[in-house]
Amino acid sequence: MPQRAKISVIGAGNVGATCAHWAAAKELGDIVVLDIPDKEGVAKGKMLDLACCGPIERFDSAIVGTSDYKDIAGSDVVIITAGIPRKPGMSRDDLIETNVKIVRSVSQKVAEFAPDSKVIVVSNPLDAMVYTAWKATGFPTNRIMGQAGALDVARFRTFIAWEIGCSVEDVSALLLGGHGDDMVPLPRCTSVHGIPVTDLLPQATIDACVERAKKGGGEVVQLMGTSAWYAPASGTIQMAEAIIKDKKRIIPSAAYCDGQFGAKGLFVGVPALLGADGVEKVVEFKLDAEEQKLFDESASHVQDLVGTVVKMFPDLA
């Protein structure tokens, strides 16, 4: 029988545990969730609880909680969720110094114990953390990516569907740029079962959906005092499934650009073709002048974040 795929999640908090939940529900493979020794009991307890869902939800996965990096050996995909979450009043950028230290340390361990894995980073500020993971692992750029666009597009599609009163499954959309308030939704690339959204909603309503998608994470933080976890985890597992099953899905992801859309040497949100080799291609298309201006501004902010990382931690240059 073919060997099952292996997914390892670093961080047993809300996002990490929910990644394991979605991966188990989709029966993507065996699952390891790792946290620091002080939180090993949390990782083990959550994964024991999840494993006991198997008979009811009908999945056969080996599910392990641990604090030992040896347990991630042989992983096909490693998901990094470790880091402190946002609190009310904090921007994603406020997290940078603490989370760079965490993600750098985790990434070095991933390189040591799962050197052939593809890595999906979820920790914030996302674009800077993907860069950190790339430098700390030394992995080729196709095997490092960040989850942001899958979440941002899901939020945008949800809000559009609510306004129209249609199924979220019938809404197709795209966003570009960094993860945060300067992401670039593209209404002209948004449709409802092939019908341009501009034919179905007034521009003011579309603009309101764009703004809500941009600030969707902050809205959740304000409502409950901490970062979202269901949708970020769902977007992450959508990416992991595309890699594990070699589906060749085009999913907006923080991927390395070497000139695409005018961005060079940056991990930034673009349409990425995900398959067995990780990011197999950045799917480029022509932006209009206003879209290009917004993308350039977003990429510039990502560049500034990377500059902050390098200034704080010269070893990541």
Average pLDDT in the 41-46 region?
Answer: 98
64 pLDDT more than 90? yes
The residues facing 32 across adjacent strands are 8, 64
Q: What is the pLDDT of residue 72?
A: 98
Relative to beta strand 264-275, strand 278-282 is antiparallel
Q: What is the pLDDT of residue 226?
A: 87
316 pLDDT more than 60? yes
- Please identify which of the residues 21, 179, 193, 301 carries the catalytic annotation: 179
Residues 6+ away with beta carbon under 8 Å from 37 = 67
Q: What is the pLDDT of residue 4?
A: 94
Domain 149-311 class in CATH = alpha beta
Side-chain-side CA neighbours of residue 170 (13 Å): 12
Query: What confidence category does residue 183 fall into, taking pLDDT thresholds of 50, 70 and 90?
Result: confident
d(CA 131, CA 268): 10
Q: What is the pLDDT of residue 209?
A: 95
Per-domain boundaries in the chain: 6-146, 149-311
d(CA 189, CA 149): 14
Q: What is the pLDDT of residue 92?
A: 59
Secondary structure, 3-state, 99-140: HHHHHHHHHHHHHHHCCCCEEEECCCCHHHHHHHHHHHHCCC
More confident residue, 94 or 135: 135
Query: What confidence category does residue 1 fall into, taking pLDDT thresholds of 50, 70 and 90?
Result: low
Q: What is the pLDDT of residue 85?
A: 73
Average pLDDT in the 271-290 region?
Answer: 97
239 contacts 274 by C-beta, under 8 angstroms = yes
Main-chain phi, psi angles of 127, to 5 degrees:
-60, -40
User: Which whole-number Å values give the CA distances from 305 to 106, 184, 295, in the listed order?
Assistant: 20, 17, 15
Terminal Cα-to-Cα distance of the chain (whole angstroms) = 44
| 193 in catalytic set | no
Q: What is the pLDDT of residue 97?
A: 86
Relative to beta strand 249-258, strand 184-185 is unpaired
The secondary element (H helix, E strand) that includes residue 313 is: none
Q: What is the pLDDT of residue 181?
A: 77
Average pLDDT in the 44-49 region?
Answer: 98
The residues facing 121 across adjacent strands are 80, 146
Q: Which of 70-79, 81-90, 99-108, 175-184 has the lowest mean pLDDT?
A: 81-90
Query: What confidence category does residue 268 fall into, taking pLDDT thresholds of 50, 70 and 90?
Result: very high
Q: What is the mean pLDDT of the chain?
A: 94
DSSP state of 41: H
Share of the chain above pLDDT 90, in %: 87
Q: What is the pLDDT of residue 180?
A: 74
Q: What is the pLDDT of residues 72-100, one digit of tens each?
A: 999 999 999 998 876 777 665 677 888 99
Average pLDDT in the 262-281 region?
Answer: 97
Among the listed residues 133, 224, 210, the one whose alpha carbon sits nearest the alpha carbon of residue 177: 210
Look up residue 262 and give its amino acid.
Answer: G
Q: What is the pLDDT of residues 145-166, one digit of tens each?
A: 999 999 999 999 999 999 999 9
Fold classification of 6-146 is Rossmann fold (3.40.50)
For the whole model, what pTM was predicted?
A: 0.95
DSSP state of 4: P
Q: What is the pLDDT of residue 2?
A: 65
d(CA 132, CA 167): 38
